[in-house]
Structure 1
């Protein structure tokens, strides 16, 4: 189905679990390459048309340390023609629930990227059936977007 990658940052494993659900769903139609944000340059996404960016939210709505460099590098990139979907884990005890994923979505839009599916916000981890279902639906919607995009182009 095309060149898809997932780039993510996870500390406690919650965002990694989301990534695992998304990757296994996407891999039913196409192989998604997976990278950890803290040891990947943002330029890697230049090789892909469909990019999923995932991050947990640190403190009061901040981008976590592991994702800061990647986030800052995006600011210098032209993302026109690239398609994105952002996801993250967070805790609703905080006012800015899953704000890092929202900040990534805003950044890619500022740089000309197109959003395939609105931000996926997961409460802590996708162990709960409702949270897992949200992840599956998000991945299915991304696959539908990619399929439709391929037909258009």
Structure 2
């Protein structure tokens, strides 16, 4: 059995609530919940599959709780590891970098040899630009906007989790 970790900051209100919904919907006894603010390089590398929760801060940045681990990831070999990334953004007030955090993290782990799964449709969003864009009409993960489209989140989460289950999560 693959060891699966879900990483997010326990101190983020909206990302934590989304993570809890994902955990409940996934219902996998092999899933270990890890606080992104306390993860070490050794702890991070013990998993085969990862679900990463990232918000997008300010003008398209990863939250500062990733500051310690990102430089270490830049030196890791993540070949054979699979990542699914979800994030929150605000397409109304930050349309020029909506959910960049998802794209930044996907780019990071792919550059280290990892496979990213759980791409979702960009249909139904209204924004200008995003590093999370993938191909013609996909996101590189699950992109949510709890500020402007909260009513759509449950359906998007449920559909994404079903995709993850098909990918062995």
Range with bigger deviation, 80-89 or 128-137: 128-137
**CA distance 1:127–1:33, shift in 2 (3 Å):** farther
TM-score (norm 1): 0.86
Higher relative contact order (CA 8 A, sep 6+): 1
Alignment length (residue pairs): 146
Please give the alpha-carbon distance, in whole angstroms, between the structure 2 residues aligned to 1:127 and 1:16. Answer: 17
Matched-pair contact (CA < 8 Å) for 1:10–1:55: no
Please give the alpha-carbon distance, in whole angstroms, between the structure 2 residues aligned to 1:126 and 1:53. Answer: 22
The secondary structure found in structure 2 opposite 1:88 is strand
Matched-pair contact (CA < 8 Å) for 1:17–1:126: no
The secondary structure found in structure 2 opposite 1:39 is coil
Matched-pair contact (CA < 8 Å) for 1:125–1:131: no
TM-score (norm 2): 0.78
Is 1:131 paired with 2:149? no
Please give the alpha-carbon distance, in whole angstroms, between the structure 2 residues aligned to 1:117 and 1:104. Answer: 13
Q: 1:122 aligns with which of 132, 139, 144?
A: 144
Name 2:20's counterpart in structure 1: 20
Name 1:43's counterpart in structure 2: 42
The secondary structure found in structure 2 opposite 1:21 is helix
In structure 2, the gaps of 5 or more residues are 120-140
In structure 1, the gaps of 5 or more residues are 148-153
Name 1:75's counterpart in structure 2: 74
Alpha-carbon distance, 1:136 to partner: 1.4
Please give the alpha-carbon distance, in whole angstroms, between the structure 1 residues aligned to 2:52 and 2:11. Answer: 15
Which of the pair is proportionally richer in helix? 1
Aligned pairs (5 A) from 1:63-102: 63-92=62-91, 93-94=93-94, 95-102=96-103
**CA distance 1:45–1:125, shift in 2 (3 Å):** farther
